[in-house]
Chain A
Amino acid sequence: MAYQLLGKDFTPPDIQAKVTGRAKYAEDVRAEGMVFARLLTSPVPHGRINNIDASAALATEGVIGVLTADDEGADGLLTNEPKHVGDLILAVAAVDETTAQDAIDKIVIDIEPLDFVVDPLDSLYPGGPSAWADGNNIGGGRTGLEPRRVKWTAQDFAAVEEGQLPFGEAAWEWSYGDIEEGLADASFVIDESFVSQGNSHHSMEPRTTMAYWENGKCVVHSGCQSLTATLPSLARQCGVELEDLVYINEYCGGGFGSKGTVTHGGIAARLSKKINRPVMLRISRHEEFYIGSARGTLQGRVRLGFRADGRIMAIDFQVVQDGGANGGFQDSGDAAAALSIIYQPLSMRYRGIPVRTNTTPRGPQRGPGQNQIAAAVEPFIDQAARELGLDRFEIRKINAPDNEARMGGNQVPVTSAYMPEALERGAELFDWENKRQLSRTRNGSKVYGVGIGQAYHDVGRRGYDGLVVLTPDGKLHLHSGVGNLGTYSYAGTTRAAAELLKCDWDNCIVHQGTNMRFLPNASTQTGSNTCWTMVRTNVVAAWDAIAKLKEIAAMDLGGDPEDYEIGEHRVFQKDNSDQGLTYAQAAQRAIELGGKFSGETPPEDLHQTTKIAVEGLAGTGLVGVAKDNLPMEGDVPALACGFAGVEVDLETGEVELLDYVGVADCGTVIHPQGLSQQMKGGTVWGIGMALFERQIYDPQNGLPGNIGFEQCKPPGYLDVPSTMAWDAVDLPDPQNPVGTRGIGEPPQGAAAAAIVCAISDALDGHLFKRTPIVPDMIINHTAGREPSNGVLQIHTA
């Protein structure tokens, strides 16, 4: 379908401010009487605070106040039982940050050290330490599990061979089909244990918050991926009702899962209330590593059974997930879902358990679970291809998900899937046929290898609200509750409403950035769902506006609403286009008519956030507002594949990525430049996952070894190719009115997997069974030395 706006690049309204430096982030905000807060963080991995003596700090000139977990509403934001190095104990407010930090140095804390653990398997062993003093070692966080204590038996550990993942009681499990029969009937079975490292978040903007109180309302400035979706939880943190919260979040310097909601804003708000001064809580880079959350580390084992033609008969997947100090996210279940959809196994069993450790809290990070498992399992597919004498491209195609694909234990359908088409497109662009012939060719000490990777993420939700207003000046106001997380989806999704209302983009005004601008309830900008989800809300809002335009026209000009059409900012009779109203005239009439037309009587099923917004806009024009009640049947997948060519230096262990092609299956492309950014950015992340990024903990002292970019090693611009090719299948999803789906997450997993497979290819099929693949692993392999790390060892360099 030919669109006027969708599928075309545009200049997002905020871009000028960003490139000229006029954009004000939370850290740039100042208010009269503002003071600065600093945090005292835990020096120990686990302890109990018996006493805090802040008297000397409070007596210091310039110090205004201290907030601890014992203050009203602060428990949960601050703690008396720090569970990881860097956990937040208290905040000090002073006239400047140096004074606050000097005061913190004067605070005497009596911390009783408690048992700690950094490896989940140590916590699961009988009698092993638990990360929390209550003894519960699983649950909480965002696992959806009630906290409880789980210890496996010594027999569980003894039942496996050295280097194989043991397994006992699972917290999550599902299965379908008969996996034992599938494995028994298989022509080839691979059984491997593996490790994928956790990665810290590296958002350029730390999670700084500035908060103050004014006329009974709490005003919070804080960068966050989402906007209206964070309001209820932020209101709870601050201790106010939703209507008494003013949240300002015009710009967010990246989040990638670590800022799905405002996580620490309540500290500034509570401290501000206590001392009655505006409080700036600037989070430093170090603190960001402590509290910014990290990707969950996985220790897994997978048994894959293949038919002679490469079709996967059975997958048996069991995984232990490092849940960090908070309990973690749902990486392992997401990993299982990814395996089920990418390979469409005829039978599958999944068992997983998230285990609390005294390491940094774990949360979602770009393709949580799905991207780790892509890099872990794709090399095993290559191994099967080698054993079965199949081409690595063909073995993927025979298993690839299409529109008949099913996912997970319940084998739910997908809204659409075009992985075979994506693989074909990638193979063509990469020139797979010719490049695979170059595998293992030598160039001095360097060996060439090629690899393919595939990844998935679920990207659709429903039930959120859309809101547009036509005003008497003829403008279309697009109210977006979407956070400005750097993808420009806050504006890109509103273009669906403008498209349906046939408005020139120059006549549209996007409202975003603060709930003071009357924004509807939106999904969180996480999990790449915004595109699919919030396009639907804009569409239903536009449909509502169109219906009201036609109703008003019919009222004023006669006939029935269905006799009318819209175009060129007018609503007019289909058989006599001269008979009509401009949008400006219709908007004026809506104000005069009142009721549903101008927002005085909004639909009952709207979210409270949207009701507040519509109340604020009532009487300003023709209000199109609706909840997305469109059908949603099945999982909405984002799929991507990648093709990589690498050179591995056998003498130095260095890997150079020479060629890369990524292809997205994300439905109809609605913003090519935005998609390009996601594909390339995701690829860079994939390079980091495959080759560089790590999370180190000293097991003896519970100390984090990575509290800066230097130790975490995200790829820099000297570590990535100057050009990375990409394309998209561009076939519509039938359950989105304009056919689009999201794509942010899987380009990373596809790239990481393709690179790992290419390295394995260069090294005659050697499987490292861990990421990242760093020089010492390659050097030890080529020198015939044992690897430094044990098979299941985590948190190592």
Chain B
Amino acid sequence: MSKDMMRAFELYQPDSVDNAVELLDRFGSESWALAGGNDTLDWFKDRAKFASSVVDLSGIEALRGIRETDDGIEIGALTSLTDIETSVLIQERYSVLSDAARRVASPQIRNTGTIGGNVCQDARCWYYRYGVDCYRAGGTTCYADTPEGQNREHCLWGADRCVAVSPSDTAPALVVLDAEMVIQNAEGERVVSAEEFFIGPEVDIERMTVLEPGDLLTAIRIPNDWAGAQFYFEKVADRNSWDFALVNIASAMVLEGGTIARIRMAAGAVECVPRRLNVVEEVVTGSAPDEATAALAGQAAVRGAAPLNYNHFKIPLLENLVKRAIRG
């Protein structure tokens, strides 16, 4: 609260993934992986979070770049959002991701912000960011989920002591692309799907992803399954410059003979994780992407939504965005 002054910490600047992983393992919960710094430095300046050993990843070239693989592409976790936004390869095959990257924050932040940092960023609940002792911060209350809590930006689903939402714009896009997240630690490498990468408060209220101390997200792999599909991404926010989504939507759709043969759809900022809209996918598969299908999809998307005091607008907003995604 009103600190705006970082504490001193030890800065480590490894030049390889192995060195970084060794440092993260050595310092465990006292370590912090630093990528673009847009999230990290806010926490540090506010003194709301602190790590005595900061591992600066910027010197590890292996973590940067977009590479073709036998089964798709692999994006280094340190690749800037600008590079993803402007990659011809991504624009041609997976434009939902480049479109999502283009809507993150502002051009300046996209120049320094990384895809890894964007998916790993912490909850944006203003109470939590303020530094109060809420559940997510290890306390015993939620300030937002109260009769007078200012919860306009909070969740429609998945409330479990915490009502924060997934703030990432690229996360829903990665979910619909069925991306795989490559994680390394001292034990070796493991790969989890994007859908499983993000976790809600019912799993661990103090984390937004499966990453634990010592883990490092090194790459994101996108398979060819959805390459060239009909994509849709839209973000609604208060401002065009540096703002987080009120709701965002990502979808990948394959049409055959005028009907929807395959579809994946996910929404951000409505739950603590990117919300996979399985019901919508089921409802619309086999139908033409027309107005009637869009209307059904919109209704299906919002079933079971449990709004808080100030965020019931997210219900019609999500419904509208799902319709627009179906209509293309």
Contacts and interface: CB of A to CB of B under 8 A. Distances in A.
A700 B149 contact: yes
Interface stretch (B169-177, B221-229, B236-244): B236-244
Interface stretch (A384-392, A476-484, A716-724): A716-724
B317 interface: yes
Given A654-B236, A703-B132, A709 B149 contact: no
Given A700-B146, A776-B246, A780-B312, A713 B238 contact: yes
Given A709-B242, A716-B106, A652 B321 contact: yes
A711 B152 CA distance: 12
Nearest to B144: A698
B126 A785 contact: no
A707 B130 contact: yes
Contacts of A776: 152, 246, 310-311, 313-314, 317
B95 to A, nearest CB: 20
Contact of A698 (B3, B149, B236): B149
Contacts of B310: 776, 788-789, 796-797
Contacts of A1: none
A713 B2 CA distance: 19
Contact of B5 (A98, A692, A705, A788): A98
Interface in A283-319: 284-287, 290
Contacts of B127: 698, 703
Given A698-B148, A700-B148, A774 B324 contact: no
Given A653-B317, A775-B317, A780-B313, A698 B143 contact: yes
A423 B220 CA distance: 58
Task: For chain B, give the interface size range.
Answer: 35 or more
Task: Label chain B's interface by main secondary structure.
Answer: loop
Nearest to A700: B148
A698 B150 contact: yes
Contacts of A703: 127, 130, 132, 143
Contacts of A579: none
Interface in A347-374: none
A780 B152 CA distance: 13
A290 B126 contact: no
Contact of B312 (A696, A701, A788): A788
Interface string A250-284: 00000000000000000000000000000000001
A782 B243 CA distance: 23
B150 A797 contact: yes
Nearest to B1: A43
A526 interface: no
Nearest to A38: B5
A696 to B, nearest CB: 6
A775 B311 CA distance: 11
A734 interface: no
B258 interface: no
Nearest to A40: B2
Contacts of B246: 775-776
Interface string A758-797: 0000000000000000111101101101001100000011
Interface string B288-328: 00000000000000000000011111111100110110000
A243 interface: no
Contacts of B321: 651-652
Most B Cβ at <10 Å: residue of A43, A101, A698, A718: A698
A692 B313 contact: no
Contacts of A782: 316
A653 B313 contact: yes
B164 to A, nearest CB: 14
A707 B48 CA distance: 14
A180 interface: no
A284 B239 contact: no
A411 to B, nearest CB: 42
Contacts of A719: 239-241
Contacts of B190: none
Interface in A656-699: 692, 696, 698-699
Most A Cβ at <10 Å: residue of B5, B8, B153: B5
Nearest to A285: B4
A631 B326 CA distance: 70
A796 B146 CA distance: 14
A796 B150 contact: yes
A709 B246 CA distance: 17
A707 B241 CA distance: 17
Interface in A96-130: 97-98, 100-102, 105
A86 interface: yes
Contacts of B49: none
A100 B5 CA distance: 10
Contact of B317 (A711, A718, A779): A779
Given A705-B150, A775-B317, A102 B7 contact: yes
A321 interface: no
Contact of B152 (A285, A290, A788): A788
A130 B193 CA distance: 55
A652 B317 contact: yes
B313 A779 contact: yes
A709 to B, nearest CB: 7
Contacts of A696: 126, 150
A716 B239 contact: yes
A39 B3 CA distance: 9
A713 B239 contact: yes
A789 B276 CA distance: 30
A718 B8 contact: no
Most A Cβ at <10 Å: residue of B6, B132, B239, B242: B239
Nearest to A782: B316
Nearest to B126: A705
Contacts of B143: 698, 700-701, 703
A86 B238 contact: no
Contacts of B309: 788
Nearest to A288: B4
Nearest to A85: B1
A239 interface: no
A785 B150 contact: no
Contacts of B106: 716, 718
Contacts of A710: 242-244
Interface in B197-246: 234, 236, 238-244, 246
A715 interface: yes
A489 interface: no
A57 to B, nearest CB: 14
A651 B2 contact: no
A774 B239 CA distance: 10
A716 B242 contact: yes
A41 interface: yes
A654 B4 CA distance: 33
A375 B1 CA distance: 34
Contacts of B241: 715-719
Most B Cβ at <10 Å: residue of A286, A707, A710: A710
Contacts of B312: 780, 785, 788
A336 to B, nearest CB: 31
A31 B153 CA distance: 47
Interface in A704-740: 705, 707, 709-711, 713, 715-719
Contacts of A711: 126
Closest A-B pairs by Cβ, 4 of them: A716-B241, A284-B4, A776-B313, A783-B316
28 contacts: A98-B5, A98-B6, A98-B8, A105-B47, A284-B4, A286-B3, A286-B46, A445-B320, A652-B234, A652-B321, A653-B317, A692-B238, A696-B126, A700-B148, A700-B149, A703-B127, A707-B2, A713-B239, A718-B240, A718-B241, A719-B241, A776-B310, A776-B311, A776-B317, A780-B313, A785-B313, A788-B313, A796-B150
Given A718-B239, A797-B152, 11 more contacts: A101-B3, A101-B7, A705-B130, A710-B243, A715-B241, A719-B239, A719-B241, A775-B236, A777-B313, A785-B312, A788-B313
Interface of B: 1-8, 46-47, 106, 126-127, 130, 132, 143, 146, 148-150, 152-153, 234, 236, 238-244, 246, 309-317, 320-321, 323-324
